[in-house]
Amino acid sequence: MNEKAVLFTIFGATGDLAKRKLYPSLFRLYKKGELAEHFAVIGTARRPWTNEFLREVVTSSIQDLIEDESQAENFASHFYYQSHDVEDTSHYVTLKNLGEELKAKYNTLGNQLFYLAMAPQFFGTIVGHLRSEEILTGEGFERLIIEKPFGSDYESAKKLNDELSCVFDEENIFRIDHYLGKEMIQNVTAVRFANHIFESIWNNKYIDNVQITFAESIGVEDRGGYYETSGALKDMVQNHILQVLSLLAMEPPTTFSDEEIRNEKVKALKAIRKYTEEEALDSFIAGQYVAGSIDGEEFVGYLEEPNVAKNSRTETFACGKFMIDNFRWSGVPFYVRTGKRMVEKGTRINVVFKQMPVDLFNNNQNTLAPNILTIYIQPTEGFSLSVNGKEIGQGFTIEPIKLSYRHNSAFLGNSPEAYEKLILDALNGERTNFSDWGEVARSWELIDVIRSAWDKNPKELATYKARTMGPKESYELLEKDGRSWAWKPEEWYIERGMLEE
Ligand SMILES: NC(=O)C1=CN([C@@H]2O[C@H](COP(=O)(O)OP(=O)(O)OC[C@H]3O[C@@H](n4cnc5c(N)ncnc54)[C@H](OP(=O)(O)O)[C@@H]3O)[C@@H](O)[C@H]2O)C=CC1
Ligand SMILES: O=C1O[C@H](COP(=O)(O)O)[C@@H](O)[C@H](O)[C@H]1O
């Protein structure tokens, strides 16, 4: 095992992300030997915690992963806390001294990884101080991991990027999009580029449309404050969905290197049609959940959630159609939808192939079901391919059959968590699964038009009952193109015996 020598500094060490994602991910890396003796973690935030208290918090956040108490104790002993207000310059002096001490104690070779698990308005201040207070020494690698949201529109993202790039080169900035760490998202490139049967027909000659659904069953939970400033379009479409779309749409890279892949993703994003506001209104729908129930359980509407304005127009559901104007995809709509409080948690991609030119079996009525390749991202992972076959028995009835390989990700005990993979990638300087500035910039350009069209044309938000599959307008969007969603909510009810098949 190639143990990594590194000093982590986590800004926002008392926060939710650090506790829920970062400490468990670091512990998994420790258990695998990726981190061993030569690492230390400085956790900083304003709360007056001590080293001992941070270690207690770390230990409680990894409870489910502990198999050997002394291993957990050793791991936690690498953590140090410094109370620090990121706007107070004098605190960086103490931070530098502590860093120097830990570098010597753990022999971290001057390698440093700064994780900004904080609100983005602080990013510029932090990186400015890292440089001015000479915490950056150029001795080992010096990398920055930052969290979403990366800006709130193109202008703010550009400003933020300029602030960061004054201090860190692009190759040392790791913008997290945790979907890129998910097993099946990484598998999209494998499906496409390791299977001739798919890549050879991956174009507008054979594919009718592509559908990307990111459904969540949870509501806005206790994140109303943040969500009110974001909404589904910025929270999910600008980043995760456009990232996935670019992986589906990009040209094959000449080599499987991070640079080549990023170049192809940027080209794909640039080929996505930038709508006029009028087109955006026609092609995108904003929705909000109202009270609803499922299986006897009641759910409040978005407007009744904590920290949400009573007259809020924030969309908890966004749905739309992207068109890609290039040789491969011209004429193929990419439909996307995402929302809170949808019928179930489910992230999947449906690639819907074109109908046969002639329907030999049904007097040319065109009633054959289309072939659909489904990539299940979560909570189950895998693929299915629906093909048509003859129903067994007399006569010649054609019926769709599903070839399916699906497993629940929970069964994959050793499957690394997205954050674990991404932190390890950052330690290895591997940038494929991070968003680069070109991708972020283009995504905002596409999203800004939609947001601005919605803001300038405040019509009634489409509503949907909590724990359903979104507003009726999201079905009409496809119906007007003569299509329908391949993943239908009825499936959910049928599987649970709540609807007749
Ligand atoms: N939580 C999640 O699941 C996800 C979070 N993110 C992003 O990660 C970032 C962090 O999120 P999250 O952990 O949920 O947020 P929290 O509000 O839970 O944590 C914020 C952290 O920032 C610290 N902080 C705030 N102001 C200062 C300051 N002036 N100086 C020093 N420390 C300060 C807080 O500590 P203290 O009060 O002690 O100073 C706390 O540790 C955000 O950008 C969020 O959008 C992204 C995806 C998922
Ligand atoms: O980035 C975000 O993602 C989560 C959904 O992530 P998942 O890994 O649980 O699918 C979403 O709930 C949150 O609103 C958004 O900020």
Find out whether 437 and 161 touch, Cβ atoms under 8 Å. yes
Residue nearest (by alpha carbon) to ligand 2 atom 3: 236
Residue nearest (by alpha carbon) to ligand 1 atom 4: 17
Interhelix angle 258-271/242-249, rounded to 10 degrees, is 100
- How far apart CA 89 and CA 39 sit, in angstroms, is 26
Q: Which residues contact 129 (CB under 8 A, 6 or more apart)?
A: 86, 89, 92, 135
* Residues paired with 384 in a beta bridge: 374, 404
Q: Which ligand is nearest to the CA of 82?
A: 1
- Computed from CA positions of residues 46, 143, 413, 34, in that sequence, does the dihedral angle turn out positive or negative? negative
pLDDT of 211 above 80: yes
Plot region of 278 (φ>0 → left; ψ -120 to 50 → alpha; else → beta): alpha
Identify the band that residue 415 occupies on the pLDDT scale cut at 50, 70 and 90. low
How far does residue 418's CA lie from ligand 1's centre (Å)? 19
Question: Nearest-CA neighbor of 127 among 112, 107, 105, 148?
Answer: 112
pLDDT of 444 above 90: yes
Identify the band that residue 395 occupies on the pLDDT scale cut at 50, 70 and 90. confident
pLDDT computed for residue 497 by the predictor: 66
Question: Percentage helix, strand, coil, to 5, in the chain?
Answer: 40, 20, 40
How many alpha carbons lie under 13 Å from residue 305 in its C-beta half-sphere? 26
Identify the band that residue 414 occupies on the pLDDT scale cut at 50, 70 and 90. very low
State the average pLDDT over residues 307-314. 96
Q: Which strand (E) or helix (H) includes residue 11? A: strand 6-11
Q: Which atom of ligand 2 is nearest to the CA of 220?
A: 14
How far from 497 is each of 161, 377, 379, 501, CA to CA, in Å?
A: 51, 24, 21, 9
How far does residue 455's CA lie from ligand 1's centre (Å)? 28
Find out whether 237 and 447 touch, Cβ atoms under 8 Å. yes
Is 216 close to ligand 2, i.e. is its CB under 6 Å away?
Answer: yes
- Bridge-based pairing of strands 292-294 and 297-299 is antiparallel
Dig out the tokens for 239 from the structure: 């980043």
How far does residue 491's CA lie from ligand 2's centre (Å)? 24
pLDDT digit string (tens) for 250-266?
999 999 999 999 999 99
**Active-site residue, selected from the candidate residues 84, 91, 129, 240:** 240
Find out whether 372 and 351 touch, Cβ atoms under 8 Å. yes
Q: Which atom of ligand 2 is nearest to the CA of 418?
A: 8
Find out whether 214 and 241 touch, Cβ atoms under 8 Å. yes
Find out whether 78 and 40 touch, Cβ atoms under 8 Å. yes
Does residue 252 have a cis peptide bond before it, meaning omega lies within 30 degrees of 0? no
Question: Nearest-CA neighbor of 233 among 453, 485, 434?
Answer: 453
Residue nearest (by alpha carbon) to ligand 1 atom 33: 45
State the average pLDDT over residues 371-384. 94
High-pLDDT (> 70) share of the chain, %: 96
| Protein residues whose CB sits closer than 6 Å to any atom of ligand 1 | 12-17, 45-47, 84-87, 117-120, 147-149
Identify the band that residue 411 occupies on the pLDDT scale cut at 50, 70 and 90. low
Tell whether residue 85 is among the known ligand binding residues: yes
Looking at this predicted complex, what is its ipTM?
Answer: 0.97
State the average pLDDT over residues 148-170. 95
Tell whether residue 178 is among the known ligand binding residues: yes
pLDDT computed for residue 183 by the predictor: 87
pLDDT digit string (tens) for 63-83?
999 999 999 999 999 999 999
How far from 247 is each of 6, 184, 251, 403, 482, CA to CA, in Å?
A: 31, 12, 9, 23, 26
Residue nearest (by alpha carbon) to ligand 1 atom 19: 15
How far does residue 403's CA lie from ligand 1's centre (Å)? 44
Q: Which residues contact 47 (CB under 8 A, 6 or more apart)?
A: 14, 83
DSSP 366-402: --PPPPEEEEEEESEEEEEEEEEEEPSSSS--EEEEE
pLDDT digit string (tens) for 181-199?
998 898 999 999 999 999 9
Q: Which atom of ligand 1 is nearest to the CA of 119?
A: 43
Pick the CATH number of 6-176 from 3.40.50.300, 3.40.50.1820, 3.40.50.720, 1.20.120.160: 3.40.50.720
Find out whether 443 and 238 touch, Cβ atoms under 8 Å. yes
* Residues paired with 342 in a beta bridge: 468
pLDDT computed for residue 413 by the predictor: 46
Is 34 close to ligand 2, i.e. is its CB under 6 Å away?
Answer: no
pLDDT of 284 above 60: yes
pLDDT computed for residue 120 by the predictor: 87
For this structure, is 91 an active site residue?
no
pLDDT computed for residue 488 by the predictor: 81
Q: Which residues contact 211 (CB under 8 A, 6 or more apart)?
A: 334, 335, 336, 337, 349, 350, 351, 352, 485, 486, 487
pLDDT of 499 above 90: no
Is 147 close to ligand 2, i.e. is its CB under 6 Å away?
Answer: no
145 DSSP assignment: E
- In the chain, which segments carry CATH 3.40.50.720? 6-176
Residue nearest (by alpha carbon) to ligand 1 atom 22: 12
- In the chain, which segments carry CATH 3.30.360.10? 183-349+432-493
pLDDT computed for residue 286 by the predictor: 98
Tell whether residue 276 is among the known ligand binding residues: no
Tell whether residue 148 is among the known ligand binding residues: yes
Looking at per-residue pLDDT, the higher value among 80 and 499 belongs to 80
How far does residue 12's CA lie from ligand 1's centre (Å)? 5
Tell whether residue 12 is among the known ligand binding residues: yes
Tell whether residue 267 is among the known ligand binding residues: no
pLDDT of 491 above 90: no
Q: Which of 179, 185, 235 to mutate to test the pocket of ligand 2 (most atoms within 8 A of CB)?
A: 235
Q: Which atom of ligand 1 is nearest to the CA of 116?
A: 9
Residue nearest (by alpha carbon) to ligand 1 atom 35: 45
- Bridge-based pairing of strands 462-465 and 334-339 is unpaired
Q: Which ligand is nearest to the CA of 219?
A: 2
Return mean pLDDT, the chain: 94
Q: Which of 179, 185, 216 to mutate to test the pocket of ligand 2 (most atoms within 8 A of CB)?
A: 216
Residue with tokens 């791991």: 75
Is 417 close to ligand 2, i.e. is its CB under 6 Å away?
Answer: no
Is 264 close to ligand 2, i.e. is its CB under 6 Å away?
Answer: no
How far does residue 116's CA lie from ligand 1's centre (Å)? 8
pLDDT computed for residue 365 by the predictor: 77
CATH number of the domain located at residue range(s) 183-349+432-493 in this protein: 3.30.360.10
Identify the band that residue 409 occupies on the pLDDT scale cut at 50, 70 and 90. low
Identify the band that residue 366 occupies on the pLDDT scale cut at 50, 70 and 90. confident
Tell whether residue 46 is among the known ligand binding residues: yes
pLDDT digit string (tens) for 10-49?
999 999 999 999 999 999 999 999 999 999 999 999 999 9
